[in-house]
């Protein structure tokens, strides 16, 4: 799936309930996160839900992120972030305006202030690598 696919999929839905259901469905697509990685060192603070992350860098300098959360809606948002940021170099990652992409999907205006702060925390953590 690409960012454009996500934007198109979300924009086909007019009702927030449909977008919400789709977010939950996307969250179920996250790769399993190893329990050994659910440590304080892998936790991202600033989210109302628990969020953990890990990443690997390949020989070409491209990053691959893994996330987990204890909330299904947050898992969906994290899945979107993997689509946005995976397989990118540091310079590409730093140049991405992820919140603009969330706006294009029509998600930003429906997220609570706490969720927006949490997503911003995750994005800042990714872009600080």
Residue 30 DSSP class: S
Q: How far is Cα 21 from Cα 27, in angstroms, rounded to an integer?
A: 10
β-pair partners for 51? 69
Residue partners of 28: CB distance under 8 A and separation at least 6: 72, 75
Residue of 23, 47, 77, 93 with catalytic role: 47
Catalytic residue flag (residue 42): no
Residue partners of 61: CB distance under 8 A and separation at least 6: 89, 90
**CB contact burial 91-115 (16+ within 10 A = b; e otherwise):** eebeebebeebbebbebeeebeeeb
Q: How far is Cα 54 from Cα 112, in angstroms, rounded to an integer?
A: 25
Residues taking part in catalysis: 47
């Amino acid at each position: 799936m690409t960012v454009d696919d996500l934007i198109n999929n979300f924009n086909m839905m007019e009702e927030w309930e449909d977008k919400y259901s789709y977010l939950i469905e996307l969250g179920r697509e996250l790769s399993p996160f190893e329990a050994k990685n659910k440590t304080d060192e892998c936790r991202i603070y600033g989210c109302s839900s628990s969020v953990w992350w890990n990443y690997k860098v390949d020989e070409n300098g491209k990053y691959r992120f893994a996330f987990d959360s204890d909330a299904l809606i947050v898992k969906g948002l994290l899945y979107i972030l993997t689509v946005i940021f995976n397989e990118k170099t540091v310079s590409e990652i730093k140049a991405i305006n992820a919140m603009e992409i969330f706006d294009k999907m029509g998600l930003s205006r429906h997220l609570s202030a706490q969720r927006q702060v949490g997503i911003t925390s995750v994005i800042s953590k990714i872009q600080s690598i």
